[in-house]
Amino acid sequence: MKQAWFAALLALLAVDASAQADQLFDQVEQKVIAWRRDIHANPELGNREFRTAKLVADHLRSLGLEVKTGVAHTGVVGLLKGSRPGPVVALRADMDALPVTEQTGLPFASRVKAVWAGQETGVMHACGHDAHVAILMGVAEVLSKAKDLPGTVKFIFQPAEEGAPPGEEGGARLMVKQGVLENPVPEAIFGLHVSSPLPSGRIGYRAGPLMASSDQFRIVVKGKQTHGARPWGGVDPIVVASQIVLGLQTIASRQIDVTLEPSIVTVGMIRGGNRSNIIPDEVEMVGTIRAFNEDMRRDIHRRIRHTAEAIAQSAGATAVVAVTDGYDVTTNNEKLAERAVATLRRVAGPTNVFLNPKVTGSEDFSAYQKVIPGFFFFLGVKPADLPPEKTGSNHSPLFVVDEAQLKTGVRALTALTLDYLRGK
């Protein structure tokens, strides 16, 4: 009976989306919604996803998958082996929540609190990772029913996509470091991200660079303390820092070829001094760098150092510059994207799949793409029936999800997996 069910599923997935195909996913839809609500009401911060990991591991074991836990702290990896030889495909969902106090007023809204960066804060799935986990749990249930599945599917439930706690490693890089893409080695990896700005049911894709790299810089400008009434008696690091802020903006606007790729250099924090009439010894500046090309990314790092040091030197100050690598550019493999888009158009309808603009946000899915071909896409979940003031973008305390699109996510990842395994 299960074989016949799966044969029907394969046949239906090979044609345009239909009401019949929807019926085959209806049996998991309510489970997916229930999982999502449970995870949403019980969010956990990066590297602390103990409850979520147990929920996932228990479910995968109940489906008969080989399960490994404790990967990169709390990560879970499930292996579904088909009965016939074939490729290995990996699917990834991130599990962590954010230090955000929820304001949605939902019946299953989070009331969880935790300590982050030394301060008590609310905890919320304000980026939709609860939806990602629930969707992938649903995909695992659907695919586990296949008795003639060609190849192998590796389900990766990853902690700490939003970043590990200070002083800890975590996220996709640690998963890769601990061998998640080995034994067996996947030929390709797929992932999705729910997006509140996108209208419900729309799917955004892009071949090549999709999301930016994200690096942090810290500049300490060292001058010489003096009275605010006698600035000539010292070297004013506040004025020098101000000149550096302006100088940094010329990197993206005047020094980098803007016709190749966009880039961003933002100073997000500047701190120095404690009185109106005292010029301090030093000023600290912290900012972010975004780029869509790895060579350009490194060139920007070099130019930040040169600009800050040269401006400081011209004023008799010094600038100590440190650049910390964050996430790499999320780059979709061109050939894999071409295959995937055909599948997504069949699942969601041609008019609902569109070429997504480049996104200056970042994603650590990029760590997997550095090792194997990967394809990452966006699924619109903005509820059509809510006014703008009742909804927020990803990372907002008002972030909400149109739960009707959870089934779309299950269908999309299931179809991408089956099409790849069948060589489509």
The answer to pTM > 0.75 is: yes
Residue 191 backbone phi and psi in degrees, to 5: -155, 155
Pairwise CA distance, residues 13 & 347, whole Å: 8
The helix or strand, by DSSP H or E, that contains position 421, with its residue range, turns out to be helix 404-421
CA angle in degrees (0–180, nearest 5) for 67-343-359: 85
Question: Is the CB of residue 82 less than 8 Å from the CB of residue 148?
Answer: yes
- DSSP H helices, 251-380, are 294-314, 334-348, 366-369
- Does residue 327 have an active-site annotation? yes
Reduced to 3 states, what is the DSSP secondary structure of residue 415?
A: helix
- The span from the CA of 265 to the CA of 349, in Å, is 38
Instruction: Map residue 207 onto helix, strand or coil.
Output: coil
DSSP character at residue 47: T
Instruction: Kindly report the backbone phi and psi dihedral angles of residue 395, in degrees, each rounded to the nearest multiple of 5, phi listed first.
Output: 80, 5
Contact (CB, 8 A) for 119 and 101: no
What does each of the 424 residues of the chain score in pLDDT, given as a tens digit?
Answer: 444 545 555 554 444 333 444 556 888 999 999 999 999 999 999 999 999 999 999 999 999 999 999 999 999 999 999 989 999 999 999 999 999 999 999 999 999 999 988 899 999 999 999 999 999 999 999 999 877 889 999 999 999 999 999 999 999 999 999 999 999 999 999 999 999 999 999 999 999 999 999 999 999 999 999 999 999 999 999 999 999 999 999 999 999 999 999 999 999 999 999 999 999 999 999 999 999 999 999 999 999 999 999 999 999 999 999 999 999 999 999 999 999 999 999 999 999 999 999 999 999 999 999 999 999 999 999 998 888 777 899 999 999 999 999 999 999 999 999 999 998 7
The domains found in the chain, sorted by start residue, are 2-211+329-421 (3.40.630.10), 213-327 (3.30.70.360)
DSSP structural state of residue 235: B
Contact 59, 45 (CB under 8 A): no
User: Which one of 187, 261, 284, 403 is the catalytic residue?
Assistant: 403
Which residues 6+ apart lie within 8 Å of 177 measured at CB?
72, 169
- Neighbouring C-beta atoms of residue 271, cutoff 10 Å: 11
Catalytic site residue from 205, 327, 368, 420: 327
Give the Cα separation of 194 and 147 in Å (integer). Answer: 30
Active site (annotated) includes residue 403: yes
Give the contacts of 236 (CB within 8 A, at least 6 positions apart). 223, 226, 279, 315
